[in-house]
Amino acid sequence: MNKVVGVISDTHGLVRPQALDTLRGSDLIIHAGDIGTPEVLDELNAIAPVFAVRGNVDTGAWADNLPVSEVVQAGDKLLYVLHNLDELDLDPLAAAMHAVITGHSHRPMMREQDGVLYFNPGSAGPRRFTLPVAVGRLRVCDGRLEGEIIKLDV
């Protein structure tokens, strides 16, 4: 079963049209925290089902029900989602996770370690310093998990 997973993080209340356009066609969307406002989730939910975790700026009653971490199944792959990689609270390999998805740093990152994909799409919200504005895409295809970071032209 092939799946396309849109990955977004650190919107800080700003949903750019370029991000929405890039996420269209996703089977599901993961928001790795620092959402900013509940309206962000509403806009993403209009595209595909959303799994979101709470980031350090996600405060207030609207964010109370957001988990700090989440396990998301995409096809036959298990994805562990949390906002800050420094707060990883499990051994992904021992927990049979295929990927760890994070945000927080605003810095896009994709690397594999011990067969686990570590993936941060970067920030899709307000630009920070000279870092790119970006989102990510994961593809589950023929038993493989492939990641892509997409820099947005903003």
d(CA 4, CA 20): 14
Per domain, the residue ranges of the chain are 3-151
CATH code for the domain defined by 3-151? 3.60.21.10
Residue 1 has pLDDT above 80, yes or no: no
Locate 11 and state its tokens.
């919107």
**Rounded distance between C-alpha atoms, residue 26 and residue 54, angstroms:** 21
Q: Whole-model pTM?
A: 0.97
Residues comprising the chain, all counted: 154
> Over the stretch 117-140, which tens digit does the pLDDT of each residue have?
999 999 999 988 889 999 999 999
